[in-house]
Structure 1
Amino acid sequence: MALNIPTMITIARLFAVPLVVWLMLSGYGHAAFVVFLAAGISDAIDGYLARVWDQRTELGAYLDPIADKALLVSIYVTLAVGGDIPVWLAIAVVSRDVLIVGAVILCWGLEQPFAIRPLKISKINTAAQISFAALALAVVGFDIDAGTWFHQCGLLVGVLTLASAAAYLAAWMRHMAPPEERP
């Protein structure tokens, strides 16, 4: 299996996960923000290069969402443990991803493969989660006063996360219904 540039960028993003967490826990919030930002930009770059250079691979298709989720879940958990975001928000973000992965694994085990296609609400949710994580890292890293607007942004991310989870749950339930009951 040959690695191409887009896939190597994705792998580099996976390696950024422990680095960002270490920077956060070591008190280098500004550096954590910069590495997180670079990782976010790399996500756009690897996808763009894979499309433009026609270098989409099965490995890249699996690694890209893993890298994205590993980064977001790690950031949210670390921010919550540090008291920088509400614990309930980290639980919502992590639970949504665990439920989706669990549903896919269950479908494989039952020999009813379920292809996850990004839903519009999911794309909006992911953008909101990434934006809020970057905002939270900036607030922590640059000692910015987080007013009520910060908490309102967190609430919005929570609502979008729950809406996305509900949409995937509905799709999964339709998929698991007996064929004669499917719409």
Structure 2
Amino acid sequence: MKWNLPNILTVLRLIAAPGLAIMFLYFHRPYADWFALLLFISASVTDWVDGYLARAWKQETKLGAMLDPIADKAMVIIALMVIVGYSSMSPWLVLPATVILFREVFVSGLREFLGSTAGTLKVTPLAKWKTTAQMVAIAVLFAQGIFEHYLGMSAWGMDAQLVDDILTGQVEDLHGLRWKLAGMDWTGRIGLWLLWLAAGLTLMTGWDYLRKALPFLKEVR
């Protein structure tokens, strides 16, 4: 095994993946949301940096080739698990998350079954766009959790009528409820749209990988 900077960044990204969930064990919200968002963005940036450096410095290794997709999948799966777990379990969120998780497990199973011929399922440009859409969607959804929690903190102790009066402009908005609600609403919508886009790309790439693997799945008689 060769330990160079690209491989070290990949390993750090892999270690950071469970850190997303651990943040919610040791920190109260919204600090946990902030730390998870910053950790996820940092790890996502290293996904591009380690690949770029490995190619630019000609330091591509088997270790990096193995760990890179594992780190990506771990980040996405754990982040989606945390987001769904802290959401209202809306089917509009759960369904695309389920599609993404199913595809990741399915393609990983295909690669394991194919063994030495798994090189047939090389990462395509569309798969890279899929990963990008997933990571942007997850970052935006983490931001939505931040807005949501700050809105709840600002409205703490207010009755429903007072909150409604503030949001409708009948009472002065001293605590910024309106912009926090707008931030929560827009990040929620955009994050959900991007997650559905990522789910669509996920299905397309999953079908592409299955189509390429079909010749190797035929029984030999």
| Structure 1: gaps (5+ residues) | none
CA offsets 1:7-64 (integer angstroms, 9 cap, x no match) = 0111111111121222245431011111111101111111111111111111011011
Please report the RMSD computed on the Cα atoms of aligned residues, expressed in angstroms: 2.1
Aligned with residue 217 of structure 2, among 166, 176, 181: 176
Query: 2:65 and 2:191 mapped to 1: Cα distance?
Result: 33
Aligned mate of 1:50, from 44, 50, 54: 54
Q: Which residue of 1 aligns with 2:198?
A: 157
- Is 1:146 aligned to 2:146, yes or no? no
* 2-structure distance, mates of 1:5, 1:149: 34
Name which one, 1 or 2, has greater alpha-carbon Rg. Answer: 2
Matched residue, 1:92? 99
Read off the aligned partner of 1:34 and give its amino acid letter: L
Which residue number corresponds to residue 109 of structure 2? 102
Corresponding residue number in structure 2 for 1:124: 129
Q: Is the 8 A contact 2:77 2:101 kept in 1?
A: yes
Secondary structure of 1:146's partner?
Answer: helix
Verify the 8 A CA contact 2:138 2:195 in the aligned structure 1: no
Q: What TM-score do the two structures reach when normalised by structure 1?
A: 0.86
* Structure 2 residue identity aligned to 1:119: T
CA distance in 1: counterparts of 2:185 and 2:198, whole angstroms: 16
- 1: distance between equivalents of 2:67 and 2:104? 15
Residue by residue over 1:54-101, the C-alpha shift from the partner in whole angstroms, topping out at 9 and shown as x without a partner, is 111110110111111111111011111222672222211111011011
Structure 2: which amino acid aligns with 1:43? D
Say if 2:19 is the partner of 1:12.
no
2:39 to 35, 39, 56: 35
- The residue matched to 2:185 in structure 1 has which SS? coil
The question of whether the paired residues in 2 share the 8 Å contact of 1:7 and 1:59 is answered with yes
Name the CA shift for 1:50/1:120 in 2 (closer, same or farther; >3 Å): closer
Using structure 2 for the length normalisation, give the TM-score: 0.72
> Which residue of structure 2 aligns with residue 69 of structure 1?
73
Aligned length: 176
**Contact 1:122–1:164, Cα closer than 8 Å, also in 2:** yes
Greater CA drift, 113-122 or 125-134 = 113-122
1:114 partner SS:
helix
Q: Say if 1:30 and 1:142, in contact at 8 Å, map to a contact too.
A: no
Contiguous gaps of at least 5 residues in structure 2? 149-182
User: Are the counterparts in 2 of residues 107 and 114 from structure 1 also a CA contact under 8 Å?
Assistant: yes
Distance 1:142 1:30, change over 3 A: farther
% identical equivalent positions: 29
- 1:5 is aligned with what amino acid? L
On the 8 A contact 2:10/2:71 being kept in 1, the answer is: yes
**Partner residue of 1:2?**
2
